[in-house]
Amino acid sequence: MIWTPELASFLEDAPWPATKEELIDFSERSGAPMQVLDNLQELEEEEVLYESMEDIWPESINQDDDIFFDEDDDESYY
């Protein structure tokens, strides 16, 4: 399972908290690439609801930049 900021961005608007099946359904309906669906299929079957992308991709917590960084929201960018 390989997540990138680009792939994770397809789950930005997912209905959190969500189960694995709800995330797969959301990804299918929103037209996410097959790699997102493949990554979600590899998740363990759990009853625990995920609260955010960080639960699925813990390495993203250690990144300096927000994985959903929006240049338009950062006035210091200009």
pLDDT at residue 21 tops 50 = yes
pLDDT at 77: 47
Token output for 73: 């929201």
Contact (CB, 8 A) for 54 and 61:
yes
Task: Report yes or no on 69 lying in a domain.
Answer: no
Contact (CB, 8 A) for 36 and 27:
yes
Task: Report yes or no on 73 lying in a domain.
Answer: no
Token output for 1: 């399972």
Q: Which domain holds residue 56?
A: 14-62
Give the residue, 48 or 7, on which the prediction is more confident. Answer: 7
Token output for 34: 């097959």
Peptide bond preceding 17: is omega within 30 degrees of 0, i.e. cis? Answer: yes
Residues in the chain: 78
Task: Report yes or no on 75 lying in a domain.
Answer: no
**Number of separate domains in the chain:** 1
pLDDT per residue as tens digits for the range 27-78: 999 999 999 999 999 887 775 566 677 777 777 765 555 545 555 555 554 4
